[in-house]
Structure 1
Amino acid sequence: MLDGDFGWLKEASKRRRYLVGVSGGADSVALLHLLQREGFQRLVVCHLNHGLRRRAASADARFVERLAERLGCEFRGGREDVGQCAEMWGCSVETAGRRARHAFFAECGRKTRCRRLLLAHHADDQAETVLWNLLRGSRGASGMKVEQSLAMAGLSMQISRPLLTVSRARLRSWLESQNLSWREDATNAEPMAVRNRLRNEALPLLEEIAGRDVLSSLQKAAESDAELREIETWAVEQAEVLDPQGRIHIRKLMSLPPALRWSCVFDFLRNHGVQDLGRGVVSRVLEMLVADGSAFLNLPGGGRMRRRQGRMFIE
């Protein structure tokens, strides 16, 4: 078994149905095999062809479908032209891909009546997320959570990331030791995507400069940040900022210190599936607090924040 914190795998109910996002890459293939070996029997393998790599992408889809069949798992496949979506939505290919995946997972969730989604994010992904959030100035040293509720295309999903403390290298080493195959995504080595540059250039350079395990340091930073967020969440809950309909009560929000107001709005937007959250988006929402009468703000991804009768909500 891999070293790492696998408390989720040990504690989760094996009888429940779970959606599992599987791209065919080493990370998601390792997750699927680990789940199967731990006795999870009601797994729905979900694979989205992004339409970016043509023949290679089709081969990925066939690989994942055959793997699901071999392991006795239900398979759900989909296809989206993410490049075309990026042009239509006026966003990056990365953002379009994330939105397309969310919509696909939500569709799978509705068709299978399953709201639990397992993703194969690992320690390297966590480090990239922390660095990117620091560079954007959006959320300090925040990272991904092992457990998270998130709205995907209007559907509330419970997301779990069992591999978040395990490095990419360790996952690949384990697959090799078990003689398990996976698909390589050539786009992971291409320099144009921000994530790829963080992965292939920034993190190795930081390790060289620091002379220590940067993945572990960034993981600890994310954990410390998460502890602070728990305190913030508790304070917001005590103030009863959200009304019974899940809308922001403006007067109660204004009673909080500025830092807590910012945190509350950020979490509200993120939990409603708003993507590309930088300081600018949150700041513009906060400006609505002092607007006269009703006000609205178009959000990244197509939603709209509305201020009306002392409440703020997304429509």
Structure 2
Amino acid sequence: MPYVPEIPWLKETPHAQKFLVGVSGGADSVALLHLLLNAGLRKLVVCHLNHGLRGQTASLDAGFVAELCAAHGLACEIDTEDVAALAESSGKSFETAGREARHRFFAACAKRHRCPRVLLAHHADDRAETVLWNLLRGSYGAKGMREHQTITVEGRELELIRPLLGVRRWELRRYLHELDLPWREDASNAEPITARNRLRHEAIPQLSLISGRDVVPSLWRAADAGEDQDEILGWALDKAKVLDPQGRLHVPAMRELPPALQRAAIFRFLHSNGIGDLDRELLKQAAALLEPENKSTCVNLPGGRHLRRRGGRMVVE
């Protein structure tokens, strides 16, 4: 019998439900698509965004995805975005500009297909890399990727679902190899040209060597602890009623909270509005807007957006 990774989410999900599926053509997303099909899910819309960074190779990736969809009778959405130009004009990294472009693309697909659920192929090793990267950047909290995450993109809610977070990278490769399933290989993933690649190929292997054991499970546990803390914070903030019925931060309620809960509330609020790259210093600046004597009413956010205090509310513009 060919090896098939254990994915609890597949057993719990109604197979008649419709999903968008992000497919780059790489091993991880191709494995996810085949696992979904083999589990009996058929109401799938494959979504592929060409980032405009790899020339003819990227066009071949898009062609591969289109052929894969045609072979299985699946709806397919393919679009192109000039991520390099977006990064340059916004001052963001390629990674951030690319992620935001994908989210906008998914939001457009969600509107066309009336489906807010997006399946992504992030796996256990991606989760560990995210925890380590967030720690190195000094990001707020030690959380990694979540299996379920709701974000708002241009006024539209998207439910991002990552069924493979309990599956290792090698398991997905083994699954593809044993079933002789093809995929597209992005050669740049093996090159030490980005921080994430260096974490994957250099830092994590070295940390495993130093500690004498695979550090990926340890990083998972750090993420689990961070998510437990986030759940506790969420419960406390719900009790404090920091959001008004329109989803805006309620300044009088926020002023009743201790500083740590104020920062946590602002972090969750900004994250739900699609604002990433949040560090402690930015959250402190945002919390300062709550001070009655503060004459400033606005804090600049990543991506050219702003957190603004208007009357008794705080909004993202």
Give TM-score scaled by structure 1 length. Answer: 0.96
SS of aligned partner of 2:63: helix
CA deviation vs aligned residue, 1:195-235 (integer Å, no higher than 9, x gap): 11111111111111111121111112111211111111000
User: 2:313: which partner in 1?
Assistant: 311
Give the distance between the partners of 2:41 and 2:57, measured in 1 at CA: 29
SS of aligned partner of 1:246: coil
Structure 2: gaps of 5 or more residues: none
Check conservation: 2:5, 2:172, Cα contact below 8 A: no
- Percent of pairs with identical residues: 53
Give the distance between the partners of 2:140 and 2:14, measured in 1 at CA: 33
User: 2:4: which partner in 1?
Assistant: 2
CA deviation vs aligned residue, 1:56-91 (integer Å, no higher than 9, x gap): 100000001111111221000000111111111111
CA deviation vs aligned residue, 1:163-205 (integer Å, no higher than 9, x gap): 0111111110111011111111112122221111111111111
Give the distance between the partners of 1:239 and 1:304, measured in 2 at CA: 24
Check conservation: 1:293, 1:308, Cα contact below 8 A: no
RMSD of the alignment, in Å? 1.3
1:298 lines up with 2:304 in the alignment: no
Structure 1: gaps of 5 or more residues: none
Larger deviation, residues 275-284 vs 153-162: 275-284
Amino acid corresponding to residue 286 of structure 2 in structure 1? V
Give the distance between the partners of 1:104 and 1:126, measured in 2 at CA: 23
How many residue pairs get aligned? The number is 314
Amino acid corresponding to residue 311 of structure 2 in structure 1? Q
Check conservation: 2:147, 2:161, Cα contact below 8 A: yes
SS of aligned partner of 1:45: strand
1:7 positional shift = 2.0
CA deviation vs aligned residue, 1:82-103 (integer Å, no higher than 9, x gap): 1111111111111111111111
Check conservation: 1:294, 1:309, Cα contact below 8 A: no
User: 1:261: which partner in 2?
Assistant: 262
Give TM-score scaled by structure 2 length. Answer: 0.96
1:298 positional shift = 2.4
User: 2:165: which partner in 1?
Assistant: 164
CA deviation vs aligned residue, 1:124-171 (integer Å, no higher than 9, x gap): 110111001111222232111101111123321011100011111111
Give the distance between the partners of 1:287 and 1:219, measured in 2 at CA: 33
